[in-house]
Each structure stands twice: as C-alpha cells, then as structure tokens.
Amino acid sequence: MNKFALIAEAWGAMAFNLMRAGLIIRCMISGLATKYRKGIHVQ
C-alpha cells in the first residue's frame, strides 16, 4: 500500500512537470514564431 502511494505520487509529480514543461515550450515556440514573423514583415 505504501509502495503504491509512493509510485502514484511520483507519477503525479512527473505528469505535472511534463505538463508545465509543455506549457513553457509552447510559450517559447509561439514567442519565437511571432518574432520570426515580425522579422519577415520588417524585411
């Protein structure tokens, strides 16, 4: 039972970190995309 709780907690933390990392990466990609588009419009 204790082992199961530990595993569940670890999986939950990993899923949360992956979700947070995904959001950060998405924000970075959209930021780069807008920068890139603005650069194209300037030229």
Question: Which amino acid is present at 34?
Answer: T
Average pLDDT over residues 2-10: 92
Number of structural domains (the chain) is 1
Position 26 scores a pLDDT of 95
Position 42 scores a pLDDT of 65
Q: State yes or no: pLDDT of 29 exceeds 70.
A: yes
Q: Tell me how far apart the alpha carbons of residues 22 and 28 are, in angstroms, rounded to a whole number.
A: 10
Its domain, for residue 36, covers 1-42
Position 43 scores a pLDDT of 59
pTM: 0.56
Average pLDDT over residues 21-42: 88
